[in-house]
A and B are shown apart, each in its own frame.
Chain A
Amino acid sequence: MTKYPLIDGHNDLALRLRMHHNNKLSTFNMHHNPRVATDISRLTAGHVGGQVFAAYVLCTAQDKDAVRLTLEQIDVIRRMCTENPEMELVTTAEGMRTSTKIACLISIEGGHSIDSSLAALRMFYQLGVRSMALTHNCNTPWAESSSSYYTYYQQKNNSLTDFGKAVVNEMNRLGMLVDLSHSSWETTRAVLKHSTVPVIFSHSSAYAICNNIRNVPDEQLLLLKENGGLIMVNFYSSFVACSNNANVSVVADHFDHLKQVIGAESIGIGADFDGAQGFPKGLEDVSKYPALIEELISRNWTEEELAGVLRLNFLRVFRKVEKVRKFILVSSSQFNEVS
């Protein structure tokens, strides 16, 4: 892992900052903090070279102040990554690849953040957002969630509306990763059929091993393979073991299964630390990633396969998405980076 520092696809530390500290970063110890699963010392111990941080806002903010809350989450992640010398904010695959620090990438978790506005999507991109999950646990007016917990915008037979397709098209044009974690199966199928650009699941696991609706069934995995996309495995116990009792081995089972169905080159890691309560024994926080890699080594995963899972697969997909970008941003030298 020293040779291939991990790039993890999904971390909810920003949510913890909001819930427990009202985004008061100045009161938060980023280096050693036992109340969360993520801090700089443990990221370093876990050989994390890149982390996608989710700028997530609650579904209950949909149609209310979701946009403003999203801007605040983007702001707190930016501040977190620019105020600590061990971290740095990146916005490109190359930036992530060459960083010698903990490279931060900003993602959005849920289309409700854009309030059905392509302009808002574009402005989020300009703020450095490079990935968006189309839904969280709530439907948007244009895409469907895998969860029926909320009753927003429930519609039958319309899991990706024309506007939803426009959103995906705009994301493709901008070079923003389309993230299908949390989307309903119908939405996922619709996107996989519609997108000509590789997509990702930033934090989902294999349905065949644990039949939780947040996981990806084999049939969709095959569509994903065709699409050239990436599934980044979630470590949350309920998703890997379908129970509160999980360990490194069952997580590794997901990797083995995915390798068997679509090959190691389509796999990444999106542990979802700080996004849930209840992680496997041996994988409680961001310092524990090496335990998983050791287990995979013992299951005869090759260096090449592991290098891919750790970072190269993500970089490859991200680079492809960037290549498709037809949008030329005003060069960043015209903007002063201010914390």
Chain B
Amino acid sequence: VMDWVKTVCLVLWAFTFNSVADDLKEQALKLMADTPLIDGHNDLPWQMRSLFNNQLNTVDLYKLNSTHTNIPKIKEGHLSAQFWAAYVPCDTQYKDAVRQTLEQIDVIHRMCHKYPEVFKFAASSQDILDAFEQNKTASLIGVEGGHSIDSSLGTLRTMYQLGVRYLTITHSCNTPWADNWLVDTGSEPEAHGGLSDFGKQVIREMNRIGMLIDLSHVSEKVMNQVLDISEAPVIFSHSSAYSICNHKRNVPDDVLMRVKEKKGIVMVNFYNDYVTCQTTANISDVADHFDHIKKVAGSSIIGFGGDYDGVSRVPDGLEDVSKYPNLVAELLRRKWSDEEIRDALGRNLLRVFREVEEVRDLLNGTKPDDIPIPLKEVQNPCRTDFVLIMTLLNKLL
């Protein structure tokens, strides 16, 4: 009889568990239907370049199955807004980084044009809401790496004109004006002690034009210096919690506190190596990061920054962009309230974005920064030296 009772209990428990799981998933989907999921970082454009040489005419995003991201998966995952990364590798620095970045910006625009029923290009917080209302995925652009602007504020401004709305201050290389995270691992020498003077100019100009400052990939000193001087909230588009996994790409607790003070956002990266500090992970491990950040700094600074198609190892249960609802269900299981979930899904990012826009509007009327980086800080074989040219010209004339 006991066996029978045990079996019945087991079956009942399993039944309850499953229906609870179903309930959670259903609740997750309900929340994702009324609040846009805004993911901070996806490298599909890089896949377009490396797999297809940006020849979109040869790709069908409905059928593509060699990437984490395709259209059916986006729909299933309820991905309502995505910052697509316009990324070019660090070895283009001092060479053709700018031109390649323009090509990545261009491929994102073309992707939106090719599938207008799916993607709606967005360049403002309002645009994201409009796209959500039209049941489309708002598509924004983030340039991943300061090397893409070739130490030029004019280039920064024109990229904003092209719709770019965040700049990740460094990728995994120092720029002539900012240090990257590898400096904190000791594998690369520190060049600037954080930001140089010109680096500070970049931050201020980004505040002025309304470009979100992304601190994923930067060194800790840069994190703190930016938090010191930025007049607007900042983001980490794809970084997780250092306390849980002590990888230098992640955010230490004291910085989390400062982000909270600044009302910024940390968008959790799903890459196994940043989630568990190992090569394997699962949904629960990712949720641990969400829980930790909530505990340390509150749910108002959390977001999703999966880094899909930018990494090779993603957690079991989060294999591709269709799986977001499972993570939301897990958070619900951990007793996150509906409001906290909504904040994490998209409301936090929208708040940050809106405030960045407000700072821009406040600073409207201040002059663009036209002081260039000192030549000696950036001199390299590919950089035209106007001082030399003017000296030569003056000799001729």
Contact = CB atoms under 8 A, between A and B. Distances in A.
B210 A75 contact: no
B383 A64 contact: yes
A68 B368 CA distance: 18
B362 interface: no
B383 A65 contact: yes
B154 A72 contact: yes
Given A67-B98, A71-B98, A61 B123 contact: no
Interface string A301-339: 000000000000000000000000000101000111011
B99 A115 contact: yes
A92 interface: no
Given A23-B154, A58-B389, A334 B382 contact: no
A75 to B, nearest CB: 4
A22 interface: yes
B157 A75 contact: yes
B44 interface: no
Given A67-B102, A120-B102, A58 B154 contact: no
A323 to B, nearest CB: 20
Interface stretch (B158-166, B270-278, B342-350): B158-166
Contact of B370 (A24, A57, A71): A24
B231 interface: no
Contacts of A65: 98, 150, 382-384
Contacts of B150: 65, 68
B372 interface: yes
B127 interface: yes
B383 A127 contact: no
A336 B155 contact: no
Interface string A119-130: 110110011000
B161 A64 contact: no
Contacts of B102: 67, 117, 119-120, 123
B387 to A, nearest CB: 9
B106 interface: yes
B282 interface: no
A72 B152 contact: yes
Interface string B353-397: 000000010000001101110000000011110100110010001
Do most interface residues of chain A lie in helix, strand or loop, or is the interface mixed? helix
B209 A338 contact: yes
Contact of B154 (A75, A122, A328): A75
A79 interface: yes
Contacts of A83: 367
A67 B101 CA distance: 11
Contact of B372 (A23, A58, A334): A23
A98 interface: no
Contacts of A119: 54, 102-103, 105-107
Given A67-B96, A67-B102, A120-B99, A336 B124 contact: yes
Contacts of A57: 384
Given A65-B382, A123-B105, A338-B209, A71 B360 contact: no
Contacts of A76: 154, 370
Contacts of B313: none
A78 B209 CA distance: 14
B368 A334 contact: no
Contacts of A26: 367, 370
Interface string B120-158: 011110010000000000000000000000101011011
Nearest to A331: B121
Given A123-B162, A335-B161, A22 B98 contact: no
B154 A71 contact: yes
Given A26-B370, A119-B54, 7 more contacts: A18-B386, A24-B371, A65-B384, A72-B155, A74-B158, A79-B368, A339-B367
Interface of A: 18-19, 22-26, 57-58, 60-61, 64-65, 67-69, 71-72, 74-76, 78-79, 83, 115, 117, 119-120, 122-123, 126-127, 277, 328, 330, 334-336, 338-339
7 contacts: A60-B384, A60-B389, A67-B96, A119-B106, A123-B106, A126-B161, A127-B158
By Cβ-Cβ distance, the 7 closest A-B pairs, closest first, are: A75-B154, A72-B154, A119-B106, A119-B103, A67-B99, A64-B382, A68-B98
Interface of B: 54, 96, 98-99, 102-103, 105-107, 109, 112-113, 121-124, 127, 150, 152, 154-155, 157-158, 160-163, 209-210, 360, 367-368, 370-372, 381-384, 386, 389-390, 393, 397
